[in-house]
């Protein structure tokens, strides 16, 4: 029996059909539109996304409303811009007029951590070294009142020469450590309101580090030498909880070739402990922090400074810092963690957005219509990411002014927790950051879903990857906890910090206080890197795997 | 030149199971090509390979001379219905078509046209989760027709259709072929393709057993077979066997004659005065022809069906 | 559920239990999930023990730290429990199950019994593995006899309580998840609710600044209270006592099972 008939001779020639549909551009935008249609045509998903926006906003407001609960706030001096500052240092000074120059050479800067007397306790790393941001240098300051305007040129152990003024501003000069072999010459000139800082390695060739106009500087201001060494806070595991413990540090600096020229009214060199002797230690347990005190934390280290000198050489030692006051407790940042509830909803949505296609076999229809699977996954990621971004943005933006006012109403002083506009840097970081966290979280979940193809497992792994590190970080000692918050996608939560941090300020940074080891946008970049890696793996696997 | 789908040497194995074993065939424009084989023969796998969903280990499948992955706006080249149940239940039928249309740059107007052609106007706004199997098949057909493609690939489109739906589907497929489209329709029931398919690709165990036009297959299966009703059975057997025919007694009064035409049988019986009441040339059904073809290739047959075991005289 | 449970002839329940056991063990993902639960629980516990050092953190509750992996293991146990119920709804197999066992509460009881048995077994292995990791790793990190640390042992009452409590905790989480999954049916929703309870509520409870709220969450939130059973040191600082905390979780679990079983009985399958 001949059953194979290939081209039957007798058959009439047939013209193949031509599609009547116009061939449009093969654009990625069409794919985006298609995935968007998929998303918004399932009512349950749209409702869930609206719910996510509400569940971002409501908990932020609710947490912002929980109140200070009798937490007392330390009396911090107020700086020139109205914000609380830390202003305590050992100051050897004399008055100067409107046009004067002060020069000095620093030949040594040493220091160490003061250990609590009880033996066998925690020893901070680097306790025998000077605190990295210890300061020794020359300063022109409106008065010896803590919080008054100033400009200073400073030598630091780890960060070279810095020109700093009015607490929040910092400009880098010469780098490298200081020693008798490599001394640092530093100079400040005052010309009216204008103050310029210079540095030099030899006292002959000078370079300008920075200039600032301190408006309103009184005609007679104080100029002189200073030393300060900030207090360090370490996380110490106490029973089941991590607890912050303060460790005072001291620094000693050797100055010589001190010269004061120009308009120098009468007066003599005087020594002042600006800001009081105990200004170096902030309360870190009990009232302010909402954490129980233990014997070690209660211990305060009063570190009065001192000066000694002979033959033109002066050695100053002391503790303290000249810096913006960084609050340990971050009520706004903590409130924004309420958005985790919204995050978990968008994680579930992202998981369903991809896994429901696999469960029903609709992924085959999708991949038949769009054979380039990588583009499909990217389009899906953009759609779910954008929808989550908008939901997060709405929830976080509406909550922002309410939460800010609640915090003030509950008695957190506005000098430490100013009410900020949503358009301020901190406002934008919190609001856009929260939205971005949700968006990138959904992209990571989508990638997991494309790999796993099962909804329950995808949601679980999504939460384990994004949220579980936060849980683990609160029970681990600070070192490993920091590592978790640097390396896992949870690094992105650093965006939700309400307190402004300054790179030139050593501040207590403990995960349970809502502080993250990486700079906010750096942490977010880590999270984005995970999302990107996940998406790439998902695309590679989707391409290779039979649908 | 009219081959719209070309499969050559497709091989694919899932672990130890060889799903496709050198599968080669072409699907021509202007015809309904039936793609037939028992369950597990490799029909769906072949279709998935053609559509670029599964990758073949070796061999290639082309649509209008191109691999599927290289098609831009593939739905304007090929319409496919693989699994009518592959829908998200919370979305309406119209919105299902809408996202598909958007992925191809097609308009909502085109969606509504297609809905009309598939006769789905009534249910289309309801959530697809509530559709009957028949409605899902029609929605699947509508989705396949969105791009008005010259090639259609339909996996078991008759499944779940009521008798009215089956008639509609047959007519619809024939009209699509008449427009010059290439239509590949898989089925595990040959009877569904009777009066519909112009061409058949019969497969078993991952390879092509027969690639033939329906007309020739039927002619071959029918052969020179004549059914004869006579009371004088033994005389008739003698006469016809003497003239070179092979005669089998299939019933008390019925003989089946092989190797002689109906005219020759009538002439021989008349010449020898053997009485008979009925002579008919046998027309095999597609089902019979198919059973004969696949007898060797059936994988999951429980046991060989007990035949009536005709006694054969020579 | 309890009265119905006892009213059933034992035979029907036994058959149903057998059927559920067959269903559970013949799904390959079950075995994978359980293996993953053991590996991750012991793994996270070992890592946590590995990073605490004496004298830096001598005051650590070494038993509790050795059981840190339970924090992760509970998520996997919840996945298993949710799939036991929601998995049937998503595939429509629930209709076959209810056809086979028309008394739905018997069906649910059977699922609960099998789930409890499986989770108790896996939890016991995970918890013992975690404690063993602690027992052998801690002395290397300075928690030596010389520093007044005795190797972890279940002969020590509080450690035994934490170990048994953690096993029961995981079983309660499984039953809680079963109740939630029965109530909401959809696996995605059930997982979201459970993961929210397991992780988000404790995080927010730790962050909330009001001591009043901290105390309330520590006492009455299901997982915060339940995990109090792991504490072996400084019990007075806990918001709730170990067994009382586990009791709070048990009440939550009973409520979830009750609501789930009521909805199961009243609703169309």
DSSP line for C188-222? HHHHHHHHIIIIIHHHHHHH---HHHHHHHHHHSH
CB contact under 8 A, B90 and A44: yes
Q: List residues bridging with B15 in a β-sheet.
A: none
C175 versus B258: the higher-pLDDT residue is C175
ipTM of the complex: 0.91
Q: Which of A264-273, B229-238, C1-10 has the lowest mean pLDDT?
A: C1-10
Which residues of B are less than 8 Å from A5 in CB distance?
211-213, 216
Q: Is the pLDDT of residue B228 over 50?
A: yes
Indicate the pTM of the whole model.
0.84
Q: Do A360 and B217 touch (CB under 8 A)?
A: no
Of the candidates A17, A34, A43, the beta carbon closest to that of B180 is on A17
The interface residues of chain C toward chain A in range 33-62, judged by CB-CB distance below 8 A, are 44, 47-48, 51-53, 55-61
Query: Per the structure block, which two tokens stand in for A290?
Result: 């909402």
Q: Which residue matches tokens 């600082």?
A: C237
- Quick one: CA torsion of A476, A480, A481, A482, rounded to 10 degrees? 160
Burial of C263: CB neighbours in 10 Å, binned 0-12, 13-18, 19+: middle
Chain C CB contacts of A327 under 8 Å are none
Q: pLDDT: is B228 or A380 the higher one?
A: A380
Chain B window 47-66: which residues touch A at a Cβ cutoff of 8 Å? 48, 51-55, 64
Measure in Å the smallest separation between the Cα of C186 and chain A Cα atoms: 9
Confidence grade of residue B15 (pLDDT, cut at 50, 70, 90): confident
Q: Give the whole-angstrom CA distance, residue A370 versus residue A350.
A: 20
Nearest residue to A132 via CA among A114, A111, A151, A116: A111
In angstroms, rounded to a whole number, what is the distance separating the alpha carbons of residues B213 and C118?
A: 60
If one compares B79 and B292, the residue with the highest pLDDT of the two is B79
In this complex, whether A and B touch, counting 3 or more CB pairs under 8 angstroms, is yes
What does the pLDDT average to over A330-355? Answer: 93
Give the pLDDT score at A287: 42
Cα angle vertex A472, ends C31, A495, to 5°? 120
> Does C187 lie at the interface with A, CB-CB under 8 angstroms?
yes
SS3 B42: coil
CB of A348 within 8 Å of a chain C CB? The answer is yes
Please give the angle made by the CA atoms of A192, A193 and A197, to the nearest 5 degrees.
Answer: 95
For the stretch A48-67, pLDDT in tens is 999 999 999 999 988 876 66
Q: At what angle are helices A373-409 and A340-360 packed, to 10 degrees? A: 160
pLDDT band at residue A233 under the 50/70/90 scheme: confident
Q: HSE of B105 in the Cβ direction (CA atoms, 13 Å)?
A: 13
Q: Which residues in chain B are contacts of A23 at CB distance < 8 A?
A: 72-73, 76
Residue pairs between chains A and B whose CB atoms are closer than 8 Å: 160
What is the tens place of the pLDDT at every residue in A502-518? 888 876 666 666 678 88
Please check the confidence at residue C166 and state whether its pLDDT lies above 90.
yes
Residue A400 pLDDT exceeds 60: yes
CB-based contact B91 A41, cutoff 8 Å: yes
- CB pair distance less than 8 Å for A30 and B105: yes
Q: How far apart are the CA of B308 and the nearest CA of chain A, in angstroms?
A: 24
Residue C18, helix vs strand vs coil: helix
A17 → closest Cβ in B71, B110, B150: B150
Confidence of residue C119 (pLDDT cuts 50, 70, 90): very high
Predicted pLDDT of residue A311: 65
Can you tell me the distance from the alpha carbon of A463 to that of A445, in angstroms, rounded to the nearest whole number?
9
Judged by average pLDDT, the poorest of A93-107, B291-305, C114-128 is B291-305
Interface of B with A in 224-283 (CB under 8 A): none
Lowest mean pLDDT among A229-233, B236-240, B298-302: B298-302
Contact between A256 and A108 (Cβ < 8 Å): no
Is the Cβ pair A27, B53 closer than 8 Å?
A: no
Test C204 with A331 for CB contact under 8 angstroms: no
Cβ-based neighbour number of residue B130 at 10 Å = 11
List Cα–Cα distances, B124 to A79, A269, A391, B120, in angstroms.
Answer: 68, 92, 30, 6
Contacts with C, A 42-71, CB within 8 Å: 59, 63, 66-69, 71
Residue A86 clears pLDDT 70, i.e. is over it: yes
CA B207 to CA B22: how far, in whole Å? 6
Over 80: is that where the pLDDT of A253 sits?
yes
Q: Check residue A231 and report its DSSP letter.
A: P
- Quote the pLDDT of residue A370: 92
Interface mutation target, options B6, B33, B85, B88, chain A, most CBs of A under 10 Å: B88
Q: Which residues of C touch A237 (CB under 8 A)?
A: 52, 56-57, 59-60
What are the C-alpha distances in Å from A100 to residues A184, A254, A263, A267, A307?
20, 23, 5, 15, 24
Pairing of the two strands B254-258 and A221-228:
unpaired
**Residue-wise pLDDT tens digits, A419-457:** 888 988 889 999 999 999 999 999 999 999 999 999 999
Which of C82, C87, C192 shows the shortest C-beta gap to A344?
Answer: C192
- Round to whole Å and give the CA distance between A232 and A234: 7
pLDDT at C212: 81
Separation of alpha carbons B147 and B105, rounded Å: 10
What per-residue confidence (pLDDT) applies to A120?
A: 47
Is the separation of the CB atoms in A510 and A242 below 8 Å?
yes
What are the pLDDT digits (tens) for A94-129?
A: 999 999 999 999 999 999 888 765 544 667 777 888
The CA distance from B163 to the nearest CA of chain A, in Å, is 27
Assigned token pair, C202: 């404790």
Average pLDDT of the segment spanning A218-231: 92
**Mean of the per-residue pLDDT values for chain B?**
85
A497-514 burial: b if 16+ Cβ within 10 Å, else e: bbbbbeebbbbbbbbbbb
Where is average pLDDT lowest: A82-86, A409-413, C123-127?
A: A409-413
* Contact check, Cβ <8 Å, B90/A16: no
Q: Which of A290, A331, A337 sits opposite C203 (nearest CB)?
A: A337
Instruction: Report CA-CA distances (Å) from A524 to A347, A440, A456, A487, A496.
Output: 17, 9, 26, 11, 10
C215 touches chain A (CB under 8 A): no
Band (pLDDT 50/70/90 cuts) for residue B194 is confident
3-class DSSP state for residue C154? coil
* pLDDT reading at A240 higher than 50: no
Query: What is the C-alpha to C-alpha distance for residues A335 and A497, in angstroms, rounded to an integer?
Result: 10
Beta-carbon separation of B69 and A5 below 8 A: no
CB contact under 8 A, A344 and C86: no
Pair of tokens at residue A347: 């994680």
Rounded (10°) CA dihedral C191, A366, A529, A477: 10
* Per-residue DSSP letter, C155: T
Is the minimum CB–CB distance between A332 and chain C shorter than 8 Å?
Answer: no
pLDDT at B184 exceeding the cut of 70:
yes
Q: How large a percentage of chain B has pLDDT more than 70?
A: 92
What is the pLDDT at residue C8? 53
Q: Which pLDDT value is given to residue A293?
A: 45
Asked if the model's pLDDT at residue A157 lies above 90, the reply is: yes
Q: Which residue has the higher pLDDT, A487 or C26?
A: A487
Instruction: State the average pLDDT for chain A.
Output: 85
- pLDDT band for position C36 (50/70/90)? very high
Q: Which chains touch A (3 or more CB pairs under 8 A)?
A: B, C
* C 80-139 → A contacts, CB under 8 A: 82-83, 86-87, 90
| CA A273 vs CA A305, A310, B182, C160: distances in Å | 7, 21, 94, 56
Chain B residues with CB inside 8 Å of A547's CB? 48, 53-54
pLDDT for residue A384 is more than 50? yes
> Do C and B have ≥3 inter-chain CB pairs under 8 A?
no
Q: Tokens 């590995």 — which residue?
A: C50
- B 184-213 residues inside an 8 A Cβ radius of A: 210-213
Is residue A294 predicted with pLDDT exceeding 70? no
Q: Partners of A245 in the beta sheet?
A: A234
- The 8-class DSSP code of residue B126 comes to S
Tell me whether residues A16 and B182 touch, CB distance under 8 A.
Answer: yes
Which residues, 6+ apart, have CB-to-CB distance to C62 below 8 Å? Answer: C49, C52, C134, C138, C143, C149, C152
Q: Where are the beta strands (DSSP E) in A5-49?
A: none
Q: Which residue has the higher pLDDT, A20 or C219?
A: C219
Contact list in B for residue A357 (CB cut-off 8 A) is 88
Distance CA(B134)–CA(B138), nearest Å, equals 6
C touches which chains (3+ CB pairs under 8 A)? A
Nearest-Cα distance to chain C for A441, in Å, is 15
Share of chain C above pLDDT 70, in %: 95
Residue in A closest to C206 by C-alpha: A512
For residue C234, give both structure tokens: 């400084």
Position B143 scores a pLDDT of 95
């Amino acid at each position: 029996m001949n059953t194979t008939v290939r081209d039957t001779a007798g058959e009439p020639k047939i013209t193949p059909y031509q599609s009547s549909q116009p061939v449009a551009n093969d654009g990625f935008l069409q794919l985006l539109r298609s995935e968007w249609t998929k998303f918004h045509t399932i009512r349950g998903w749209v409702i869930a996304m609206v719910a996510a926006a509400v569940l971002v906003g409501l908990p932020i407001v609710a947490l912002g409303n929980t109140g200070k609960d009798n937490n007392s706030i330390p009396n911090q001096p107020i700086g020139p811009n109205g914000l609380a500052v830390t202003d305590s240092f050992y100051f050897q000074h004399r008055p100067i007029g409107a046009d004067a120059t002060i020069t000095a050479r620093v030949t040594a800067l040493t220091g160490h951590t003061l250990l609590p007397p009880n033996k066998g306790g925690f020893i901070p790393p680097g306790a025998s070294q000077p605190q990295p941001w210890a300061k020794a240098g020359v300063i022109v300051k409106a008065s010896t009142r803590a919080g008054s305007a100033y400009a200073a040129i400073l030598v630091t152990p780890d960060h070279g020469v810095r020109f700093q003024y009015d607490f929040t501003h910092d400009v880098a000069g010469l780098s490298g450590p200081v020693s008798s072999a490599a001394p640092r010459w530093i100079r400040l000139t005052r010309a009216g309101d204008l103050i310029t800082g210079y540095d030099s390695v030899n006292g002959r060739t000078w370079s300008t580090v920075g200039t600032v106009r301190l408006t309103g500087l009184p005609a007679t201001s104080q100029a002189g030498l200073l030393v300060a060494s900030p207090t360090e806070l370490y996380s110490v595991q106490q029973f089941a909880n991590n607890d912050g413990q303060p460790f005072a540090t001291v620094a000693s600096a050797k100055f010589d070739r001190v010269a004061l020229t120009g308009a120098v009214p009468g007066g003599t060199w005087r020594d002042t402990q600006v800001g009081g002797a105990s200004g170096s230690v902030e309360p870190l347990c009990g009232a302010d922090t909402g954490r129980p005190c233990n014997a070690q934390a209660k211990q305060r280290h009063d570190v009065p400074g001192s000066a000694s000198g002979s033959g033109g050489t002066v050695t100053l030692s002391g503790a303290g810092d000249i810096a913006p006051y960084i609050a340990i407790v971050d009520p706004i940042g903590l409130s924004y963690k309420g958005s985790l509830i919204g995050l978990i909803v968008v994680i579930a949505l992202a998981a369903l957005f991809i896994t429901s296609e696999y469960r029903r076999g609709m992924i085959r229809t999708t991949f038949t219509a769009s054979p380039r699977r990588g583009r499909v996954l990217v389009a899906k990621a953009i759609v779910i990411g954008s929808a989550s971004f908008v939901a997060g943005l709405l929830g976080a933006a509406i909550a922002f002014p309410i939460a800010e006012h609640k915090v003030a109403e509950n008695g957190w002083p506005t000098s430490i927790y100013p009410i900020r506009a949503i358009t301020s840097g901190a406002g934008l970081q919190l609001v856009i950051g929260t939205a971005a966290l949700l968006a990138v979280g959904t992209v990571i979940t989508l990638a997991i879903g494309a790999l796993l193809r099962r909804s329950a497992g995808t949601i679980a792994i999504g939460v384990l990857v994004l949220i579980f590190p936060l849980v683990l970080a609160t029970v681990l000692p600070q070192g490993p906890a920091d590592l978790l918050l640097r390396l896992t996608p949870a690094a992105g939560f650093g965006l939700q910090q309400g307190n402004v941090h300054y790179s030139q300020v050593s501040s207590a940074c403990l995960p349970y206080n809502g502080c993250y080891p990486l700079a906010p946008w750096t942490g977010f970049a880590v999270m984005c890197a995970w999302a990107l890696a996940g998406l790439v793996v998902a695309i590679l696997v989707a391409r290779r795997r039979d649908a | 030149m009219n081959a719209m789908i070309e499969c050559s040497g497709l091989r694919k194995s899932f672990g130890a199971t060889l799903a496709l074993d050198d599968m080669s065939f072409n699907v021509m424009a202007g015809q309904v090509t039936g793609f037939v084989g028992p369950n597990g023969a490799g029909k769906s796998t072949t279709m998935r390979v053609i559509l670029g969903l599964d990758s073949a280990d070796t061999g290639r499948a082309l649509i209008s001379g191109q691999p599927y992955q290289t098609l831009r706006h593939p739905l304007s080249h090929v319409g496919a219905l693989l699994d009518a149940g592959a829908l998200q239940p919370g979305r309406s039928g119209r919105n299902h078509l809408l996202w598909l249309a958007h992925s191809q740059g097609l308009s909502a107007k085109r969606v509504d046209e297609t809905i009309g052609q598939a006769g789905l106007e009534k249910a289309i706004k309801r959530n697809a989760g509530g559709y009957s199997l028949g409605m899902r098949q029609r929605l699947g057909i509508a989705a396949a027709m969105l791009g008005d493609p010259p090639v259609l690939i339909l996996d078991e489109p008759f499944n779940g259709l009521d008798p009215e739906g089956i008639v509609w589907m047959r007519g619809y497929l024939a009209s699509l072929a008449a427009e010059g489209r290439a239509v590949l329709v898989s089925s595990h029931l040959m009877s569904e393709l009777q009066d519909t398919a112009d061409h058949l690709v019969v497969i078993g165990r991952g390879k092509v057993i027969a690639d033939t036009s329906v007309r020739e297959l039927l002619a071959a299966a029918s052969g020179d077979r004549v059914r004869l009703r006579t009371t004088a059975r033994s005389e008739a057997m003698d006469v016809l066997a003497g003239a070179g025919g092979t005669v089998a007694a299939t019933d008390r009064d019925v003989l089946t004659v092989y190797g002689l035409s109906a005219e020759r049988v009538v002439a021989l019986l008349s010449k020898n005065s053997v009485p008979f009441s009925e002579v008919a040339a046998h027309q095999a059904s597609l089902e019979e022809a198919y059973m004969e073809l696949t007898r060797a290739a059936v994988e999951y047959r429980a046991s060989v069906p007990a035949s009536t075991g005709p006694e054969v005289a020579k | 559920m309890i009265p119905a449970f006892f009213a059933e002839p034992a035979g029907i329940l036994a058959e149903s239990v057998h059927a559920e056991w067959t269903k559970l063990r013949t799904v390959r993902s079950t075995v994978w999930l359980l293996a993953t639960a053991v590996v991750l629980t012991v793994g996270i516990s070992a890592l946590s023990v590995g990073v605490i050092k004496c004298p830096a953190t001598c005051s650590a509750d070494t038993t509790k730290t050795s059981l840190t992996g339970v924090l992760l293991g509970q998520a996997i146990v919840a996945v298993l429990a949710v799939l036991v119920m929601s998995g049937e709804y998503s595939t429509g197999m629930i209709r076959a199950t209810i056809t086979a066992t028309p008394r739905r509460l018997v069906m649910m009881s059977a699922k609960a019994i099998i789930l409890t048995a499986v989770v108790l077994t896996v939890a016991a292995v995970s918890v013992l593995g975690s404690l063993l990791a602690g027992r052998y790793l801690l002395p290397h990190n300075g928690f030596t006899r010389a520093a007044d640390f005795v190797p972890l042992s279940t002969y020590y009452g509080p450690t035994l309580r934490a170990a048994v409590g953690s096993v029961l905790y995981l079983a309660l989480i499984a039953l809680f998840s079963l109740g939630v999954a029965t109530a909401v049916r959809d696996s995605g929703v059930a997982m979201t609710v459970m993961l929210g309870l397991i992780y988000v509520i404790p995080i927010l409870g730790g962050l909330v600044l009001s001591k009043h709220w901290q105390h309330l969450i520590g006492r009455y939130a299901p997982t915060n209270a339940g995990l109090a059973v792991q504490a072996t040191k400084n019990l007075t600082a806990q918001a709730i006592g170990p067994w009382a905390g586990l009791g709070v979780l048990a009440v939550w679990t009973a409520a979830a099972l009750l609501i789930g079983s009521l909805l199961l009985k009243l609703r169309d399958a």
